[in-house]
Amino acid sequence: MRGALEPAVRRLPAGADKSSCTEVAVNRDELDADIRTVTHLATYVQKLQDGARELVAQIRPQQRGYSTPQEDNQMRALLVSYCQVRNALLELIETLRLRSEEDKDAYPVIFLTGFSAALVLVDAARFLREMVEHRDVVRERLNAAAPEFGIPAGVYDQVQRSLLNPRHAWHLYHAISYLDAHESDLRELALRPDLRPLMAIIDRLRHRLDVTLATYSEARIRKRGKQVVSLVRDDLLKRALVGMQKLGCLLVTDRYAKRGHSPALPESIVHGLRSELAPGDILVVRKEYALTNYFLPGYWPHAALYLGDRQQLRALGDPPQRLRSGWDQLLASDETGPRVLEALKDGVRVRGLDSPLRSDSIVVLRPQLQLTELVEGLARGLVHQGKAYDFDFDLKRSNCLVCTEIVYRSFDGLGNIRFALQQRAGRATLSGADLIAMALHGEHLDVHAAYNAPFSERLEIGDTAIALTRQFHSAPDPTGDVPQG
């Protein structure tokens, strides 16, 4: 098979320094974050599978023909965690595909990262099939909708149908062909400490693909029958990356994502925000058409904590001595621009303000705290820097955090602030919509500023921001998936 496509293979440059492949034109920090994300998710999925095995071993709903409420909650929690992982992998693979178009010198590292992510995705789906096979009651529960997390009915069956569809072998074939053609070079590249875990994932999970010549031939015939020929004109690696992305988007339709849309607030809105934001502000944001809107509770799926720039932070004074470490480290950083504390799929990190502003709508909430309480809250948040993202979305533990949990861990118990966690799919959660609802009721938070393109063309401040927020907070969810608030 390889010989027929060999002319299309993109080879690594002869004599090139493979360890520097990512340094040209690609943001190394972003690619490093992707590598960390895949490595973390691979480990997380293994733990998720261990927990699922224990769950199946402990409960016997098949024997009695029904599941208990506790078992329902456990199975729904498993579904939510799986969808969270899948969501992160979908976004990562799509990001890598787009990044590969910007810098061809980074292809080898991008391939290792994307192929590892695709293998984790396939392994997770196949594991569910193996666990659920001959367990109709469990399958029924995994097919149940979880509307509070935006999970539609039939997720399990739809993923499995797509996974077993021979047309997907066409996409996988190109990735495997690229790996076969360049395995020695890729293994040499993977001697880098940060890439070593990716090759370990590939070695551990490669057998999960099992793409045979017969399956590939059947897939190719079906693809040609549909006149899908654009992939053939591209080089093999590009086909591999596109194929992995298509494999990932087994559930994604135009209802979930819109190609070509790059979330970004208008420059005038960004300029207004920069002059209005104060340390401690909570930025609740939404990206239209984004994969990350799904499998998260509520219309507002993301939040970040605004820290401010170095000058603003120094003007606040010092936090309690027990919380000085992260605070002093932040002030000693070379970065002087405004920053946020934000949990994304690569974990809890201090990032530039542009990160949460790559959105389409925003509400700025301001906590009702005294200055000393505010400083303590920011310092408390920084304690969690470097922790992993919480794909279980469970605020009862603090070893890993979801985005809104940064707000919860920073401010809960300070002054009069008490956050009432909401039970969703058996998890203690706090959504962006929960935070907005608190502010609209005057509970511990105030709506300071708001912008939402369908409702306003400018950044609203104060009372007009409150009125705007009430308007779109109670409007029907335009996605049709998850009720607001």
Contact present, 392 and 346 (Cβ < 8 Å): no
pLDDT value of position 465: 95
Residue reference for tokens 């006149």: 227
The count of C-alpha atoms lying within 13 angstroms of the C-alpha of 193, restricted to the half-sphere facing its C-beta, is 0
**Nearest-CA neighbor of 424 among 77, 68, 48, 55?**
77
Q: What percent of the chain has pLDDT over 70?
A: 73
Q: Pick from 196-200, 295-299, 329-333 the range whose average pLDDT is largest.
A: 196-200
Residue 240's pLDDT band (boundaries 50, 70, 90)?
low
Q: Which of 252-256, 367-371, 457-461, 471-475 has the lowest mean pLDDT?
A: 252-256
Contact present, 376 and 362 (Cβ < 8 Å): no
Contact present, 340 and 323 (Cβ < 8 Å): no
What is the pLDDT averaged over residues 146-172? Answer: 69
Q: Which of 322-326, 332-336, 411-415 has the lowest mean pLDDT?
A: 332-336
Residue 108's pLDDT band (boundaries 50, 70, 90)?
confident
pLDDT value of position 243: 55
Asked if the model's pLDDT at residue 132 lies above 80, the reply is no
Contacts for 195 with CB less than 8 Å, ≥ 6 apart: 35, 109, 112, 189
Which tens digit of pLDDT belongs to each residue from 170-197?
A: 566 777 878 888 889 999 999 999 999 9
Burial class of residue 62, CB neighbours in 10 A (0-12, 13-18, 19+): middle
Asked if the model's pLDDT at residue 149 lies above 80, the reply is no
Residue 63's pLDDT band (boundaries 50, 70, 90)?
low
Residue reference for tokens 């002869």: 14
pLDDT value of position 333: 86
Contacts for 384 with CB less than 8 Å, ≥ 6 apart: 341, 348, 398, 401, 406, 409
3-state secondary structure the chain: CHHHHHHHCCCCCCCCCHHHHHHCCCCHHHHHHHHHHHHHHHHHHHHHHHHHHHHHHHCCHHHHCCCCHHHHHHHHHHHHHHHHHHHHHHHHHHHHHHHHCCCHHHHHHHHHHHHHHHHHHHHHHHHHHHHHCCCHHHHHHHCCCEHHHCECCCHHHHHHHHHHCCHHHHHHHHHHHHHHHHHHHHHHHCCCCCCHHHHHHHHHHHHHCCCCHHHHHHHHHHHHHCCCCHHHHCCHHHHHHHHHHHHHCCCCCCCCCCCCCCCCCCHHHHHHHHHHCCCCCEEEEECCCCHHHCCCCCCCCEEEEEEECHHHHHHHCCCCHHHHHHHHHHHCCCCCCCEEEEEECCEEEEEECHHHHCCCEEEEEEECCCHHHHHHHHHHHHCCCCCEECCCCCCCCCCEECHHHHHHHHHCCCCCCCCCCEEECCEEECCHHHHHHHHHCCCCEEEEEEEECCCCCCCEECHHHHHHHHHHHCCCCCCCCCCCC
Asked if the model's pLDDT at residue 99 lies above 80, the reply is no
Residue 481's pLDDT band (boundaries 50, 70, 90)?
very low
pLDDT value of position 415: 94
Answer CATH for 267-473 from 3.40.50.1010, 3.30.420.480, 3.90.1720.10, 3.40.50.2300: 3.90.1720.10
Asked if the model's pLDDT at residue 167 lies above 80, the reply is no
pTM, two decimals, is: 0.73
Strands 427-429 and 422-424: antiparallel
What is the pLDDT averaged over residues 40-65? Answer: 78
Average pLDDT, the chain: 78
Residue 355's pLDDT band (boundaries 50, 70, 90)?
very high
Asked if the model's pLDDT at residue 275 lies above 90, the reply is yes
Which tens digit of pLDDT belongs to each residue from 358-409?
A: 999 999 999 999 999 999 999 999 999 999 998 888 788 888 999 999 999 9
The crossing angle, in degrees rounded to 10, of helices 403-411 and 371-382 is 130
Q: Where along the chain do its domains lie?
A: 2-248, 267-473
